[in-house]
Structure 1
Amino acid sequence: MVVTEAFDAVAGSYDEARRRLVPCFDAFYGTAVDVALPPLRAALAAGRTPQVLDLGAGTGLLSLLLGAVLPEIRVTLVDGAPRMLAVAADHLTARGVAHRTVRADLTDPLPSGRYDAVVSALAIHHLDDDGKRALYRRAATALVPGGVFVNAEQVAGPTRALDRRYDEVWTARITALGSDAAEIAAARTRMRHDRPAPVAAQCDWLAEAGLVDVDCFFKEWRFAVFGGRRP
């Protein structure tokens, strides 16, 4: 698969550029962690090991941030890029976070089990819209009652004009943060595989999948965090 090959090629250096290429890094990932934590803490209070499914986990960045706050979690990381998964496993092992890795595409059946939180960061936008909707349905059924799905995602503007403006702002901000021409060019090469959708449509799809309390919890131009809860 071309997408996985593109990300495998940069597995060793992928995390170095995150704070430049995601200008709102702290608020973006921090919001995703905040949305995911309540059912994980509830599981721990009930005497269970909190279970997390990380879709398109890459180098495990979101799982690492969750583990930093709640080290008792157990994470199942799904990604089609084996080198990215290897980096994630090394990071999680070093931090003492229990985990397993599953090499699979986001169009494949999800790993068996029921999860207190299904999370994803900057991955689902590689699917077309039908693929996104199908994945949201699978994610909803994989949750325990009261579990949450949270997607920290790159989204499209609701109009072409706004989408162009998103890109202009992103380019200006990452340049100001120190991204050089080579880094920007490499990012744009990976972005050729992107199929982002507007956040409003994706919230509708989550509701169609049976989730409640669906909302966009954070949005800054093309970066948004949205999700919902299984009743």
Structure 2
Amino acid sequence: MWNGNPAIWEAGVGVAEAFDAVAGDYDAARRRLIPCFDAFYSTAVEVAAPQLRAALAVGRTPEVLDLGAGTGLLSSLLSAVVPGVRLTLVDAAPQMLAVAAERLAGRGVAHRVVVADLADPLPAGRYDAVVSALAIHHLDDAAKRDLYRRAAGALVSGGVFVNAEQVAGPTPELDRRYHEVWLAQVAALGSDSAEIAAAEQRMAYDRPAPVTEQCRWLTEAGLADVDCFFKAWRFAVMGGHAPGGTVDDPSAPSARQR
């Protein structure tokens, strides 16, 4: 989602440049333009956290790769819930990453930023979690599938992939309904006509795909336990695990305690 100036798109500026142009105040409208903000992001964190805690439990620093990290909102939330992670944030918009770096440095979170497009090779390494929020829908379907394969291949055994995403309806009629509901919700949360118009202008360039298809692509990429863990109209959290390892959360009660 984007709350910038529609004129940026009309001038033919690329996606990265358009996001850089609003980097300083990008987060200000998040809770209005993502009506399910708390449940959406908290579910993404909840899906990713067990593998990271498992790494900490065996004395290893959990490595997290955040794709299309933007201002680092998801990374920041994840590092707050699981202190001790090391983050690699990838985005094509350097000013967005500058905001993310300042946010994480202010909290003393270990991190690095990589200016790159999602179609570029992923940063070298193996990751306990590869996560993304509201970024992969900018790719066409073939590029989504390719990224899912590459993300799955970058995971350690048992590692987790989480995509908190803007999705399409499974039919044109449902997709129209998704948009109607979104318009009503954001207006009720205080978005004015200019903010809504700017967001709609940006959304014309999105390429979202339905949940069912994306879960199939994740399975085809080699992930196990693939599921849609949360969905509220246009917003969904999907993911799965690399085969092997464990997804048990060391912070949860043991089976004998339950």
What is the TM-score of this pair, normalised by structure 2?
0.89
Q: CA deviation at 1:60?
A: 0.2
Determine which of 84, 89, 99 is the counterpart of 1:72: 84
The amino acid that maps onto 1:33 is: V
Q: 2:168 aligned with 1:156, yes or no?
A: yes
Which residue does the alignment assign to 2:37?
A: 25
In structure 2, which of residues 229, 232, 238 is the aligned counterpart of residue 226 of structure 1? 238
Q: What is the match of residue 197 of structure 1? A: 209
Distance 2:184 2:161 in 1: 31
Identify which of 153, 156, 168 aligns with 2:180.
168
Aligned partner of residue 160 in structure 2, secondary structure = strand
Q: Does 1:89 align with 2:107?
A: no
CA contact (8 A) 1:79 1:105 kept: yes
- Between the aligned partners of 2:171 and 2:187, the Cα distance in structure 1 is 24
**Residues 106-117 of structure 1 correspond to what in structure 2 (within 5 A)?**
106-117=118-129
Q: Which runs of 4+ in 1 moved over 3 A?
A: none
Cα RMSD between the aligned structures?
Answer: 0.7
One-letter amino acid of the structure 1 residue matched with residue 178 of structure 2: Y
Contact 1:71 1:96 in 2 (8 A): no
Larger radius of gyration: 2
Match of 1:14 in 2: 26
Partner Cα distance (1:188, 1:54) in 2:
25
1:98-113 to structure 2, matched below 5 A, reads: 98-113=110-125
Asked if structure 2 preserves the Cα contact closer than 8 Å seen for 1:56 and 1:120, the reply is yes
- Work out whether residues 6 and 190 of structure 1, in 8 Å CA contact, stay in contact via their aligned partners in 2: no
Residue type of the alignment partner of 2:37 = F
Deviation at 1:193, TM superposition (A): 1.9
Code of the residue aligned with 2:160 in structure 1: it is V
Could you tell me which residue of structure 1 aligns to residue 57 of structure 2? Answer: 45
CA distance in 2, matches of 1:190, 1:87: 21
- 1:59 is aligned to 71
Q: List gaps (5 residues or longer) in structure 1.
A: none
Q: Which one of 128, 140, 165 corresponds to residue 128 of structure 1? A: 140
CA distance in 1, matches of 2:200, 2:184: 14
Q: Could you tell me the percent identity over the aligned residues?
A: 77
Structure 2 residue 57 is the aligned partner of structure 1 residue 35: no
Displacement of 1:189: 2.0
